[in-house]
Every structure is written in C-alpha cells, then in structure tokens.
Amino acid sequence: MLRIAFARKNKTLSAEFKNKKVVEILEKNYRTHCSVNNQPIGMDLDMVKLIDESLKDNDMNEKRARQMDIDDFMRLLEAFNKRGIHFA
C-alpha cells in the first residue's frame, strides 16, 4: 500500500489507487483472497468503486501521501481490509 501511495507522493491518493495497473493488481489480490477464504465473488465486482468507498470513508481521497502520518495509513489499511482489499 505504501509503495502505491508514495509512487508519486504529490498525487492524490484517489488518483494513485485508481491507476489502471493498480486496480488490476488489487482486483487480482481480491479474487485470490476470496478464493482462499471460500467467499463468493459477485458478478458485478467493481474494484474502482470499492477503492473509492475505502478512500472516502476516511476522507482520504483528496489527501496526498506526503501529508499523511502513520495513523492515517493505518486507518486507510483498515478501511481497505474491511472491504476485502489486501496488498501482497
């Protein structure tokens, strides 16, 4: 998660996490996590929406990595994990 956030530390988190390659990786991780834990995956899976909800829940969609502290990153990680988004 930190690699993604700090890849371009001056970009907003929303822009970084909605990058096409990042979305592909997170969707692959999501599918793997669901498969390992025998959880069904809906046909209408929208990874961008899950990412957006995770960021907006903590008002972090417009924040920049350089402006955040460790507690902010921990809250963001928790928000992602609640939605089944994991980082490998």
Residues sharing a CB contact under 8 Å with residue 67, sequence separation 6 or more, in sequence order: none
How do residues 18-46 score in pLDDT, each as one tens digit?
A: 999 999 999 999 999 888 988 888 888 89
For residue 78, give the CATH number of its domain: 1.10.8.480
Number of H helices, E strands in the chain: 5, 0
Residue 30 domain flag: yes
User: Is pLDDT at 87 greater than 90 in this prediction?
Assistant: no
Q: Go through the chain and tell me how many residues it has.
A: 88
The mean pLDDT value of the chain amounts to 91
Which among 32, 35, 75 has a CA at the least distance from the CA of 54?
Answer: 75
Percent of the chain's residues with pLDDT above 70:
100
Which among 86, 21, 69 has a CA at the least distance from the CA of 60?
Answer: 69
Confidence (pTM): 0.84
In the chain, how many domains are there? 1
Residue 88 domain flag: no
